Structure 1
């Protein structure tokens, strides 16, 4: 089965394929990186779903929860009832830069207009308890960048995020949710969300419909905010704020990091000032950002780990790893993250065999993935 459209980079899923993708990413222990490896190895989400139980058993887990068909059908119906849609990695309306991060979400929930394919996007993030001057700066940056054709991404939080969305409502803005696309947080931003959606903006999430956000979900959201963007502007971020998480993701994703300096007496500026000391670009106006991003329509050195074209060569998947290969892999792993390429060199096994073995361990809940294509064993 070939999911590809006429363009090599264009993917269009039919109804059955979209349902299978949703079931696969909603199954136990399947994250974005695991999803990609499963699809690349088995050639389709349908085949990967069939293989999950045996892979999990070989990794040491006797039973794994595969997302039931009824659950996936209900989630798709909920999207339709809420005027939302599910967009797959590689489809035309999938954010172009987001596909080049480490572990892009295979499916994103989207409400709103059709501006997600816009390549010129900048993130504006900062303190929730922002000062009046910080809010004004966020609005000024967002408004002026919008006038120059840049869409604004942020997290719909209080403070800087809200000011950025408000100022960019007419020019284009995307709100990234930490919970499901139907779970507004904070709840008082309903009017702001309605305004940006009515003006052609978007709300997106990678979480299941109806998912209430937990603390750990906000860093996941932040990696999407930076991943959609060419650069991230940080305004009034405290020393341990979520905005600094966004900046760290931006660094890993090779995005530009811009920081607006603040008073050394204001703890809300401690994080942004620290970013400047660490090498972030100091900016005081949108002109500084525009000069840094001039003529750039894509991040430099993007990740190239994408979902591959399905293959009809079934023999590729017929050979199972040997027990000795499995033992060598487990002996090479420990609690310290190690690069997958290093594991391949150490074990002497093929890349395909190592990826299958890693899938077994991850589906059994024994493996943790880290940035930079590193993995560790959960003891």
Structure 2
């Protein structure tokens, strides 16, 4: 990939209303990020809005800031972009990393759990992470309080990956400043956000998909029934990865999420050997798909007003699956995807998890 294409791809993903899905569709349709950038205003106009692209000087400043922090970019299409993450729906087109990116190429295990975890659970997570590291696995977590911190401390010596929901120059929670620095120095620190981005609540679910995507399996140590850890486990399961959980007392609310996962089919975990046995049954070659087949979502150059009106009639404020819109419209997938892309660029469409869309 040329330096110009790398710059254009970063500028494309930093442009307003460009997400992972629209990024892939634009590349599939136009071939290069430069051509996609030039096409955005026209596509947005067809959707009834005004398209914008990221300011080139702002992107140059971001790159300079990242480099000054000792960080670098991994872009979709790079040979060292983590191949398991590449297969996730909504995989980030651009990652900013600091540390040893070779850790992501090893057999990775995600460990997540409660922020207000019990002392016993934290000790278990730390020991489990240490043992997994000794068996050759890379432990991935989110540098949050509780289980995440314990997992990183246990696996720091063997190599750990920390995924954060902010810019790489930000620390959250503040008390994890030292361990985050250690992860960046001898492990791998990962984010999809530009430097300076604050850790806002809406960024954490997106961070969870990166944690799940990097790993061949996810272990939940302690989690309440509606915690973010269960979101990570669900994303792992939807991606065909192993979901594992540590059982706990039914009297402890922090164990209810794990017990629920086990009841629903997650693998019960009691030690590192259980984890390695569970992930050993997954063939990563079966998870990996052809890059072009996976990312080349169908789009079409020509859509008539009648076809556009047909799709618009099926859209509403309630999220609806794209495949259902295709079925009900009687149109080809390429035509429907094109209308949705135009609406998204015009700021008239929202995308939701599970391949669903809704009108704003």
Q: Same fold (TM over 0.5)?
A: yes
Determine which of 172, 179, 193 is the counterpart of 1:207: 193
Gaps of 5+ in 1: 1-12, 310-315
Q: 1:265-321 CA deviation, whole Å, 9 max, x = no partner?
A: 222212112211222111111111111122635285557664459xxxxxx97x432
Q: 1:140-197 CA deviation, whole Å, 9 max, x = no partner?
A: 2111111111101000011111111111112111000101111111122121122233
- Report the Cα offset of residue 342 of structure 1: 3.8
SS at structure 1 position matched to 2:102: coil
2-side partners of 1:234 and 1:255: how far apart?
13
Matched, 1:370 2:357: no
Aligned to 1:73: 60
Aligned to 1:275: 261
The alpha-carbon distance between structure 1 residues 119 and 33, as it changes in their structure 2 partners (threshold 3 A), is farther
1-side partners of 2:40 and 2:125: how far apart?
46
- Report the Cα offset of residue 225 of structure 1: 0.4
Tell me how large the CA RMSD over aligned residues is: 2.1
Matched, 1:52 2:34: no
Q: Retained in 2: the 8 A contact 1:88–1:94?
A: yes
1-side partners of 2:156 and 2:261: how far apart?
28
Query: Within 5 A, what are the aligned runs for 1:234-245?
Result: 234-245=220-231
Determine which of 190, 193, 197 is the counterpart of 2:177: 190
Query: Within 5 A, what are the aligned runs for 1:77-96?
Result: 77-96=64-83
Q: Retained in 1: the 8 A contact 2:42–2:51?
A: no
Aligned to 2:86: 99
2-side partners of 1:245 and 1:348: how far apart?
34
2-side partners of 1:289 and 1:261: how far apart?
14
Determine which of 246, 256, 270 is the counterpart of 2:242: 256
Q: Retained in 2: the 8 A contact 1:118–1:151?
A: no
Q: 1:238-267 CA deviation, whole Å, 9 max, x = no partner?
A: 222211111121122221111111112222
- Report the Cα offset of residue 92 of structure 1: 2.0
1-side partners of 2:65 and 2:324: how far apart?
44
Q: Retained in 2: the 8 A contact 1:258–1:282?
A: yes
2-side partners of 1:80 and 1:333: how far apart?
43
Larger helix proportion of the pair: 2
2-side partners of 1:328 and 1:303: how far apart?
33
2-side partners of 1:351 and 1:268: how far apart?
44
The alpha-carbon distance between structure 1 residues 81 and 322, as it changes in their structure 2 partners (threshold 3 A), is same
**More displaced 10-residue stretch of structure 1: 63-72 or 293-302:** 293-302
The alpha-carbon distance between structure 1 residues 297 and 165, as it changes in their structure 2 partners (threshold 3 A), is farther
SS at structure 2 position matched to 1:180: coil
**More displaced 10-residue stretch of structure 1: 42-51 or 110-119:** 110-119
Q: Retained in 2: the 8 A contact 1:145–1:286?
A: yes
Aligned residue-pair number: 357
2-side partners of 1:90 and 1:43: how far apart?
13
Q: Retained in 2: the 8 A contact 1:119–1:297?
A: no
SS at structure 1 position matched to 2:194: coil
Matched, 1:320 2:306: no
Give the TM-score, by structure 1 length. Answer: 0.88
Give the TM-score, by structure 2 length. Answer: 0.93
- Report the Cα offset of residue 72 of structure 1: 0.5
Matched, 1:288 2:274: yes
